[in-house]
Structure formats: C-alpha cells, structure tokens
Homo-oligomer: A and B are copies of this chain.
Amino acid sequence: MYIGIDLGGTNIAVGLVDKNGKILATDSVPTHKERAYIEIVADMAALAKKVTLAGGCALEDIKAVGIGCPGTIDTANGVVVYANNLKMDRAPVAAEFQKHWNIPVYLENDANAAAFGEYRMTAKDTDSFVFMTLGTGVGGGIVLNGRLWHGFNGAGAEIGHTSIVMDGEPCTCGMRGCLESYASVTALIKQTKEAMEAHPDSAMHEWVAKKGKISGRTAFECAKAGDAAATAVRDRYIRYVAEGVNNLINILQPAVFAIGGGISKEGDTLLVPIREFVAKYNYNKHMPKTDIRIATLFNDAGIIGAAFAAMAEQP
C-alpha cells in the first residue's frame, strides 16, 4: 500500500492507494497556504495516518508516501526548491514529513505526478506519453521509456511555456506568446471577455448574466447553442491548443498524448478538431500516429500519480 498526496494551494488531498492505482480511502483538509511549510507538512502527515487507518490498513502496511507539489522540485533530495503559490523556498518537505512518520517519502512536481498517474492507469503498455492540462495554467508531464522525464535539473516538461506566438501575449513567466497565454482557462476567459465586448448582441451576455460570471464554459456552451461570436472564440481557442499539441508531437512523437484539466471535459468538441489538425499538419506523414485522447482520471490523477511516483522509486 502507498499514500499519495496532492498538495494544492487550496486543499491537501490524501489517498490510500494500492499497487494497481485503486484509491481505497481518501480525505482532505484546507492547505491554508499562508502558513509555514512545517505546519503544512504536519497536517499532511496527520491526514496520511488518518487515511491509512480509515482504509483498514496499519501504518506498517504503507511502503512509501508520494507527494505532488506545485513549483520547482528537487526530487532527489525531497526539497521544494521554489513554489510561489505556497511561499516555499528550499523547503525540505520530505525530511520534515519523516519527523512525523519515518517512511520513504518521494516528492514530485504536481503536474508531473498527474501525468504519471494518467500514464500508469491508461497507457502503461506504451513507451511514451505526454500529458497536457488545460487549467488555470497549461501544465503537463512527459513519460519516456516508462519514466517521467524531468530534464537533467528536474525543471523540465514545462510544456505550457513554449511560445506559439513570438512577441505575443505576456505570460506570467516573463516571456511573451507562451502556449499558456493562449490555451489556459485564464486565457480562454480573457478571449471570451474580449469577444463579448466586441459583440454586444452575443448570447454570451445572457449566459453570463444567468451564471454570474464568465468561465471556461461560456464560449463552449453558447457555441453549442449556435452563437456566432462564441463559436469563433471556441474554434480559435481549440486551434491554439492544437498548435501546442502538434508542436510537442513533432518533437517527441509519443505513443499517447492525453489532454486533461477542466476544459478537457468538453470531450469530442475539443478532441475531434485537435485530431483533425494534427492529422493534417503533423510532420509525420508516413509512420504510425500518436493516439490523442482526453485524460480520464480528472481530480484523482494527482493522488494516484504521487503514489505511483513513490512506488517507482522503491527497490
């Protein structure tokens, strides 16, 4: 048995996970991210023990704990090097956790952990897998030869931070034109807002009045209902995503490319045009093609992936 922990800016989610990736028990507590890391880690350890017992296991049944954290992670030393969202700066999270529970602890970047969970649960018979999440940002992970590719320094797989429009929209990372600035939910909301301002007659205004605010669903739902301005926003947004997917496939040619995050719930509306774009424009015209899919695990990917990442490190 393994513990997988998904440390987010809002909640700490903990799961008891078996070797096949099945979650046997789960629980969460608020992160209160303004706190010192020592307090956050104490809560993580207490909740991990609680979930273990709630799942009918003894603490001795747990072989390792995996923790998915946002930010730059030194996986070899179990240190959160930097996580702006959590105010962690060279925080030795693994060692601190072990003060509460002396057990192997493995830290992983949260997007990498989610990628690894999705890979192990849906594509482990393949040698290569790329995962892209369309959320507040555009994150992801890369699995090659069955292992996460971190880069030589652990900072790799920042697939949201490749420019698709040189000198384009400013990105939070300091660059311009990053995929994240066009294909994140944040970007989609901005694109939706701009289209609403340009089209006072669009049905999106009524939708937003009813729902209370613009969201990533505004353009998709109003497009489905036939609104022209919404359709233009949706189609252009999907084109941005497709551009990023195609670029990554030209570099890595993974066996499977999975798209996750909130927007991925749009399913075929999102997937079909991306597949068509890649079929038409990918450089590979003569060899077998990457299988482009919608991810399946949604919120559980983080917990399951953290557990699998810990599992992969055990002898």
Contacts and interface: CB of A to CB of B under 8 A. Distances in A.
A37 interface: no
Nearest to A82: B286
A235 B228 CA distance: 42
A253 B144 contact: no
A284 B163 contact: no
Please state the number of chain copies in the assembly.
2
Given A81-B287, A281-B174, A253 B145 contact: no
Contacts of A286: 72, 81-82, 155
A211 interface: no
Interface stretch (A58-66, A92-100, A242-250): A242-250
A285 interface: yes
Contact of A165 (B156, B166, B285): B166
B250 A158 contact: yes
A142 interface: yes
Interface in A234-275: 239-240, 243, 246-248, 250-255
Interface in A147-171: 149-159, 161-166
Contacts of A252: 149, 151, 156, 251
Contacts of A156: 250-253
A11 B291 CA distance: 38
A212 to B, nearest CB: 33
Nearest to A164: B166
A6 to B, nearest CB: 22
B247 A163 contact: yes
Contact of A161 (B144, B153, B161, B250): B250
A152 B72 contact: no
A83 B283 CA distance: 13
Contacts of A287: 72, 74, 81, 153-155
Nearest to A154: B287
Contact of A251 (B82, B142, B174, B175): B142
A127 B142 contact: no
Contacts of A246: 163, 175
B145 A145 contact: yes
8 closest Cβ pairs, A-B complex: A151-B253, A156-B253, A153-B287, A155-B284, A152-B255, A162-B247, A161-B283, A158-B250
Interface of A: 72, 74, 81-82, 126-128, 142, 144-145, 149-159, 161-166, 173-175, 177, 239-240, 243, 246-248, 250-255, 280-281, 283-290
19 contacts: A74-B287, A81-B287, A127-B152, A144-B144, A144-B149, A145-B145, A152-B290, A153-B255, A153-B288, A155-B253, A155-B284, A155-B287, A162-B162, A162-B250, A163-B164, A164-B164, A166-B240, A175-B283, A251-B252
